[in-house]
Amino acid sequence: MNAIEAVNAHLVLASRFENIEVAERALHDLCATAGCDGEQLYWVVTALREAMANAVGHGNRLQPERKVHVDLSVDSSAVTIRIDDEGEGFDPSLIPDPTVPENLLRPSGRGIFYMQQFMNRVQFSRTPGGGTSVLMVKHLQPTTRSAENEKPSPRSR
């Protein structure tokens, strides 16, 4: 991918799961503009969807008057995503490791794990209003790789 200037988008969305699709479409559009590789994009979109689901469901508790603020930035070297909710915040260190045997059959608690696996950087903080802000960065590989060549070591994606 040739070096390009960053393309950006800022979305303010009502807290509905349907709006995950809106954020996904916006990211697809930016990445198409930036020429982001489709294989890498798949995993970035997966992380975006998890962060959106957390903001809508856990953060804003599906209250439509509470908004989800989405900032997307794509350039030739990285995809950067920040998602802020208007909830009460939480401590991500309290989320148990979903891959240890005693947690494998838990039906929930894998969202943050997904994000951490598929992005190079995932950082949680508090918004000024007390909600949760998550910043995620994915460094883009300069060459296209096919799904068949991908190994199941997510941080390589």
Partner 1 sequence: MKSQVRDRGDVRIVELSGKITIGSGDVKIRELIDEALAAGKKNIVLDLAGVSTIDSSGIGEMVACYTTVTKKGGHLKLLRLSPKINDILQVTQLITVFEVFDDEAEAVRSYG
Q: Which is nearer to partner 1, 24 or 77 (CB)?
A: 24
User: How open is the CA angle 77-139-121, to the nearest 5 degrees?
Assistant: 140
Least distance CB 28 / partner 1 (angstroms): 13
Instruction: Please give the radius of gyration of the chain, using alpha carbons only, rounded to the nearest integer.
Output: 16
Query: Footprint of partner 1 on this chain (CB under 8 A)?
Result: 17-18, 20, 42, 46, 49-50, 53, 57, 98-99, 104-111, 113-114, 117, 147-148, 150, 152, 154
In angstroms, the CA 1 to CA 144 distance is 9
Least distance CB 6 / partner 1 (angstroms): 26
Q: Which is nearer to partner 1, 57 or 77 (CB)?
A: 57
Q: Which is nearer to partner 1, 5 or 102 (CB)?
A: 102
Least distance CB 48 / partner 1 (angstroms): 10
Least distance CB 42 / partner 1 (angstroms): 7
Q: Which is nearer to partner 1, 43 or 77 (CB)?
A: 43
